[in-house]
Each structure stands twice: as C-alpha cells, then as structure tokens.
C-alpha cells in the first residue's frame, strides 16, 4: 500500500497518467478530511446503492395494493407504515430513490453542459455574442424556477420526462452566468494570450484552456443545486404535474399523504424525510467539494 | 534583411492614441531593447507586433512580410513571446508536458515526446519536472517553461516582455544567462522590453528609449555603457538607474 501511495504522491511523476492520478488522489484525500463532506458523500452513495439494488432492499412491491392493510402505522412488517391503498411506504421510498436519482442525473447532464458552453462562448467572444447570449439567459433567469417549470409542464403535458426537461430548461441559465463570470476572469490571463499567440483556434482555446478551469466551480454549483432540483421535482410531483401515479415519486407521495397528515402522519412524513436527507446530503457534499476544488480557497492540492 | 522593421507606428486603445510615429529596425540575429518608464508604450509596441493590440496604423514587417492586424499561424512559427509574469503565463491545471505539447498539437507537428524532451533540455529543465503542475515549480523554473514553450515551434525571433522583472535577483541572473546562451546557440533575434538598464547592457546590442509613446533616442549599447546617450531624457534615465543600483 505504502508504495502505491508514494507512487501517487510522487513529486516528479513520470507519466501523464501518474500526474493525473496523483492529483485526484490528493483531492479525494482532502475531501476525506472534511467530516461534513464525508457525511454528504455517504448519503449520496447510499442513495445510489439503494436505487441500484431497490428490488433487493424493498420488502414489498412498491405498487401492490392491499386494502385490508391501509394506513397501518410503522411496524416490524411495514417499517414506515402503509398508505391509503395499503402499499408499503418503505418500499415506495426505496423505489422512489430511482426516480429521484434519474431526475437529478438527467437534469445535470442536460443543463450543466449547455450552461457551461453558452457561458464560456459569451465570455470569450464578448461584444455582440455576449450581449445576445446573456440577453437570452437573463430572460430565463428572470422567471422563478418552479413557475417556469410549471409553464413548460403545462405546455408539454404532465409526466416525469417533461418534468425533467422543464427543470433542465429552468436550471441552465444559472450555470451560464457562472461560466461567463469565470471565463471573463480567465480570458485576459497571459496563459490564454500565450496559446492564442501560438495560433490556437477559438474552439481550441475554449475547450482545452477555458472549460477545464470552469468545471470545478460548475461541479460545486451542480452538486449544491441538486437539492433544489430534487425539491422542484418534488414540488411538481406534489401539484400533480410531475411523476404520475402509481410511480412512487416522493413529492407525489407527500401530496397523497396530505389528506391524512393529522391522523396518519407517517404517510406524508416518511417521503418528506427522504427528501430532506438526500437534499442535505447533496448540500454537504457540494460544500465539501467547494472547500477542496475552489481555487479561491487557495490551491491546496 | 531586417528581422523586424517598424515605421510610423501609431497604436490606439479605443479613442486614445498610445504611441506616436514609432520607427526602428532590428537586424536578423540582433538583440534590441525598448526601454522607458511604465506607461511609455513599450509593451504596447510588443503587443502590436504579436497581434494582441489590433488597432494600429503605420507598418510592421517581420522578416520582410508585412504583419496583419491579428494573430496568424504562419507568424506564430516565426515569432513567439515570453511574458513578464511566469505565475500568470502558465495554465494552472496543465502539466509542463501538456503546456509544451500544445503548440505542437496546434500546428499538427508529430513526435511531440522527443521535441518536448529536447526543448526542456535546451532550457535546462530536468526531465523529472516534465509531469509537474506549475504550482510544483519555482518562479525560475516556471519562466524556463515559458521560454521553452516559446521555443518549441523553433521561431527565429522572440519578443521578451520584461522576462526577469517578476523574479528574484539570483534567479534573474540564471534566466538572463539562459537567454544569452539560447541566442548564441540558435541564432535568435530578440526584441526585449525592460526598464532595467543593466539587463540591457548585459543582453542587448542596441536600444531605443521611449517616452510618452515616442522613441526619443536609438543608441548602441556601447553608448549606454559609456554614459554617452545624447537625449536629455535618456541621460536622466541612466543617471536614475545608476542611483537606484547604488541604493
């Protein structure tokens, strides 16, 4: 083990691969020293594992109804109780992790690259390109996220795919703003001037030299936004425009439990806990990543 | 043939004119210095030649070919620039190897492994630095990387923008010796901007003194050494520089 560690931390790496691995090792080491970040990482990892192995972790079917068992409180048999159709809430929460993870991952994959590229192009070229692109961004940014998502879902029709597209459309402008701000600070640095003097094309400068410096703040921002994305998805589910029954989406589950909240508190509370814990996990992880990756906190690699 | 011929050059930033009727020639293989206090427009002249300051009138020609108002690939192979601050001129997330291979990739030159090795050797960087990141290097090592990056396309002329002013004194001497050796070995032409007159006497053959965007005097470095500059401002500059050295 010691030799692997030495190899990774070698001050003068002998290959590109070793230099890169060494850097990731230092980063993960720094992350591991941050307790809150570790809590966040464990929560997110648990979410991923639960989503992957849902059929083995769930004790019941998430959609199987049993009207004789409706609205039972938490017990050995039903760990989180049952809902108004006698479905096991634990199993629904476990399967709901899949939906939540899918929403979060797809929104990140759709919105982050679009925002990154729009922002970097606007910041790099400046002038009219910047004005037009940022004008479009501002239009999207001026509307509240949930309202914008609502409008899109209303236009596209309710459903989980449309909710994902709507949330992605509402999220990218924030990323474009950050990427532009970051690009503006990098754009006039001498290392960019140096590659330009070597005859590099604008495409090459943006992709190879500017984007790599924007990605760490983007990763931080996306991770911190995951909580908001989960909440927006849950909000859409709650008002019936997100996942449709019988899909066990957490927001929709809370909405169903609302009618019994005083007498059968567990129906709405259990998915609520799930949302809170997962959102917190992403926030902690995002904060930890910021401490490790953010160049403004010093280059402590 | 002149490596660089500048005639009647007026450079402006927006509406304000920074230089007025600049003109000088640099012979092939010569080392020429532009000296003057800050704000005299010397770095701006360098930027106009490199293509970074785009709005100018007059004429600039490099090895007989007139310069366009921007950056082009052909010019990049003839002439490269070394920046003042080695902390700002290297990409913080790229290893020395990546920084040095980039120009080769841009110009589609293969065999980058061997060329990087060769150029690192010629600027006196040990092979073990090859996969380090800039934050793992000292200021002097970083400036060597910056010089290596300028040399890897095998240009005939280097534009040096105060290449030693951001370094401490002992390292300055190393870098100056390196520049002197590289010029001898590779027959390079230097155009250097500086306000440090001892550096001029050490490295350059001729100099132009600039003030308020005008060239007030072009002289041999011998004249500088003998204190025989003619223009009153140049004399003042030498006197001030000598007094500064004694302190």
DSSP codes, B91-158: -TTS-HHHHHHHHHHHTT---HHHHHHHHHHHTT--GGGTT--GGGS-HHHHHHHHHHHHHTT--SEE
At B227, the pLDDT band (50, 70, 90 cuts) reads confident
Sign of CA dihedral A226, A228, A234, A240: negative
* B244 part of contact set with chain A, CB < 8 Å: no
The rounded percent of chain A whose pLDDT value lies above 90 is 32
Average pLDDT, chain B: 89
- Helices and strands counted in chain B (H then E): 9, 11
Query: How far is it, in rounded angstroms, from Cα A91 to Cα A95?
Result: 6
Q: What is the mean pLDDT of residues B221-228?
A: 85
Distances (CA, A) of A16 to A19, A21, B129: 5, 9, 12
Q: Smallest Cα–Cα separation from B46: which of B218, B152, B194? A: B194
pLDDT given at position A301:
40
Q: Are A209 and B73 within 8 A, CB to CB? A: no
Helix, strand, coil content of chain B in percent (nearest 5): 40, 25, 35
Q: What is the mean pLDDT of residues A184-202?
A: 91
The answer, yes or no, to whether the previous bond of A215 is cis (omega within 30 of 0) is: no
Q: Which residues pair with B20 in a beta bridge?
A: none
**The token pair that represents A85 in the structure block:** 């159709």
Output the CA angle B77-B180-B148, nearest 5 degrees: 40
pLDDT given at position B239:
80
Distances (CA, A) of B26 to A300, B34, B83, B207: 45, 11, 20, 10
pLDDT given at position B156:
92
Question: Is the pLDDT assigned to residue A16 strictly greater than 80?
Answer: no
Taking the CA of residue B240 and the nearest CA in chain A, the distance in Å comes to 31
Query: How far is it, in rounded angstroms, from Cα B181 to Cα B135?
Result: 27
| SS3 category, A191 | helix
How many Cβ pairs closer than 8 A exist between chain A and B? 87
Query: How far is it, in rounded angstroms, from Cα B192 to Cα B190?
Result: 6
Q: Which of B93, B103, B130 sits opposite A213 (nearest CB)?
A: B93
Residue of chain B minimizing CA distance to A211: B93
Please say whether the beta carbons of A120 and A180 come within 8 A.
Answer: yes
The full length of chain B comes to 247
Q: How many CB atoms lie within 10 A of CB A218?
A: 21
The rounded percent of chain B whose pLDDT value lies above 70 is 98
Question: Is the pLDDT assigned to residue B1 strictly greater than 60?
Answer: yes
Per DSSP, A263 falls in state T
pLDDT given at position B245:
63
pLDDT given at position A2:
61
Taking the CA of residue A29 and the nearest CA in chain B, the distance in Å comes to 18
Sign of CA dihedral B42, B43, B47, B49: positive
* pLDDT digits 0-9 by tens, B167-214: 888 889 999 999 999 999 999 999 999 988 889 999 999 999 998 888
pLDDT given at position A25:
85
Q: Which of A11, A15, A197 sits opposite B76 (nearest CB)?
A: A197
Specify burial of residue B192 (Cβ count, 10 A radius: 0-12, 13-18, 19+). Answer: buried
Query: How far is it, in rounded angstroms, from Cα A101 to Cα A112?
Result: 16
| SS3 category, B206 | strand
Of A171-180, A232-241, B76-85, B212-221, the least confident: A232-241
Question: Is the pLDDT assigned to residue A122 strictly greater than 90?
Answer: yes
Q: Which of A19, A193, A199 sits opposite B76 (nearest CB)?
A: A199
Which residues have C-beta within 8 Å of that of residue A99, sequence separation ≥ 6? A160, A243, A247, A248, A249, A250
* A202 part of contact set with chain B, CB < 8 Å: no
B84-114 b/e (C-beta count within 10 Å ≥ 16 → b): bbbbbbbbbbbbbbbbbbbbbebeeeeebee
Q: What is the mean pLDDT of residues A3-24?
A: 78
Residue of chain A minimizing CA distance to B98: A16
* pLDDT digits 0-9 by tens, A51-97: 999 889 888 888 888 888 788 888 888 788 888 888 888 999 999 99
Per DSSP, A295 falls in state G
**The token pair that represents B48 in the structure block:** 């106009």
Please say whether the beta carbons of B242 and B228 come within 8 A.
Answer: no
Q: Are B102 and A16 within 8 A, CB to CB? A: no
At B246, the pLDDT band (50, 70, 90 cuts) reads low
CB within 8 Å of chain A, chain B residues 102-161? 102-103, 106-107, 128-133, 135-136, 146, 149, 153
Taking the CA of residue B238 and the nearest CA in chain A, the distance in Å comes to 30
Which residues have C-beta within 8 Å of that of residue B154, sequence separation ≥ 6? B77, B186
Residue of chain B minimizing CA distance to A189: B88
Integer Rg of chain B from CA: 18
Single pTM value for the model = 0.82
Sign of CA dihedral A228, A229, A234, A240: positive
- Assigned superfamily of A27-56+80-297: MetI-like (1.10.3720.10)
At A106, the pLDDT band (50, 70, 90 cuts) reads very high
Helices (H), B3-123: 42-50, 73-78, 96-106, 112-122
| Set of chain A residues whose Cβ sits within 8 Å of the Cβ of B91 | 191, 209, 213
Among B51, B82, B93, the residue to mutate for chain A (most A Cβ within 10 A): B93
**The token pair that represents A50 in the structure block:** 């639960």
Start-to-end CA span in chain A (Å): 21
Question: Is the pLDDT assigned to residue B135 strictly greater than 90?
Answer: no
Of B112-116, B125-129, B160-164, B223-227, the least confident: B223-227
- Per-position DSSP letters for A37-95, written without gaps between them: HHHHHHHHHHHHHHHHTHHHH-SS-SS---GGGTTPPS-SSSTT-B-TT--BHHHHHHH
Q: Which residue has the higher pLDDT, A159 or B189?
A: B189
* pLDDT digits 0-9 by tens, B60-110: 999 888 888 888 888 888 999 999 888 889 998 888 999 999 999 999 888
Which residues have C-beta within 8 Å of that of residue B148, sequence separation ≥ 6? B100, B119, B120, B122, B123, B125
Domains and CATH numbers, chain B: 2-246 (3.40.50.300)
């Amino acid at each position: 083990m010691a030799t692997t560690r030495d190899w990774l931390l070698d001050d003068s790496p002998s290959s590109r691969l070793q230099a890169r691995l060494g850097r990731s090792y230092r980063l993960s080491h720094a992350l591991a020293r941050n307790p809150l970040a570790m809590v966040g990482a464990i929560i997110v990892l648990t979410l991923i594992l639960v989503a992957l192995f849902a059929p083995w972790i769930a004790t019941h079917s998430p959609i199987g109804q049993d009207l004789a068992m409706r609205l039972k409180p938490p017990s050995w048999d039903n760990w989180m109780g049952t809902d108004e159709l006698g479905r096991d809430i634990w199993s629904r929460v476990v399967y709901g992790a899949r939906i939540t993870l899918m929403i979060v991952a797809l929104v990140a994959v759709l919105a982050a690259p679009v925002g990154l590229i729009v922002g970097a192009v606007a910041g790099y070229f400046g002038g009219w390109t910047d004005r037009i692109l940022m004008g479009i961004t501002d239009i999207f940014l001026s509307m509240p996220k949930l309202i914008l998502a609502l409008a899109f879902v209303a236009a596209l029709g309710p459903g989980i795919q449309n909710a994902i597209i709507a949330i992605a459309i509402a999220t990218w402008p924030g990323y474009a703003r950050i990427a532009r701000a970051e690009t503006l600070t990098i754009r006039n640095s001498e290392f960019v001037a140096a590659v330009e003097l070597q005859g590099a094309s604008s495409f090459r400068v943006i992709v190879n030299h500017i984007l790599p410096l924007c990605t760490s703040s983007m990763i931080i921002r996306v991770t911190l936004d995951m909580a908001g994305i989960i909440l927006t998805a849950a909000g859409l589910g709650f008002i019936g425009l997100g996942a449709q029954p019988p899909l066990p989406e957490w927001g929709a589950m809370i909405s169903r439990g609302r009618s019994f909240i005083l007498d059968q508190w567990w129906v709405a509370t259990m998915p609520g806990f799930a949302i809170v814990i997962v959102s917190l996990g992403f926030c902690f992880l995002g904060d930890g990543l910021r401490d490790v990756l953010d160049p403004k906190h010093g280059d402590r690699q | 043939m002149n490596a660089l011929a500048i005639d009647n050059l007026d450079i402006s930033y927006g509406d304000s004119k920074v230089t007025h009727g600049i003109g000088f020639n640099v012979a092939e293989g010569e080392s020429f210095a532009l000296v003057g206090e800050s704000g005299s427009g010397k770095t701006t002249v360098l930027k106009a030649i490199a293509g970074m300051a785009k709005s100018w009138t007059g004429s600039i020609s490099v090895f007989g070919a007139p310069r366009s108002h921007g950056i082009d690939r052909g010019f990049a192979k003839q002439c490269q620039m070394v920046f003042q601050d080695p902390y700002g001129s290297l990409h913080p997330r790229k290893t020395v190897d990546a920084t040095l291979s980039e120009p080769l990739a841009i110009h589609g030159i293969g065999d980058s492994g061997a060329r990087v090795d060769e150029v690192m050797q010629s600027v006196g960087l040990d092979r073990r630095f090859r996969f380090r990141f800039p934050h793992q290097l000292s200021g002097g090592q970083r400036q060597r990387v910056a010089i290596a990056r300028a040399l890897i396309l095998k240009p005939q002329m280097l534009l040096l923008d105060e290449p030693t002013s951001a370094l401490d004194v002992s390292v300055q001497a190393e870098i100056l010796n390196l520049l002197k050796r590289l010029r001898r070995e590779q027959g390079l032409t230097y155009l250097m901007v500086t306000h440090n007159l001892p550096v001029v006497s050490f490295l350059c053959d001729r100099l132009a003194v600039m003030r308020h965007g005008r060239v007030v005097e072009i002289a041999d470095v011998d004249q500088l050494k003998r204190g025989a500059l003619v223009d009153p401002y140049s004399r003042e500059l030498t006197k001030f520089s000598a007094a500064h050295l004694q302190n």
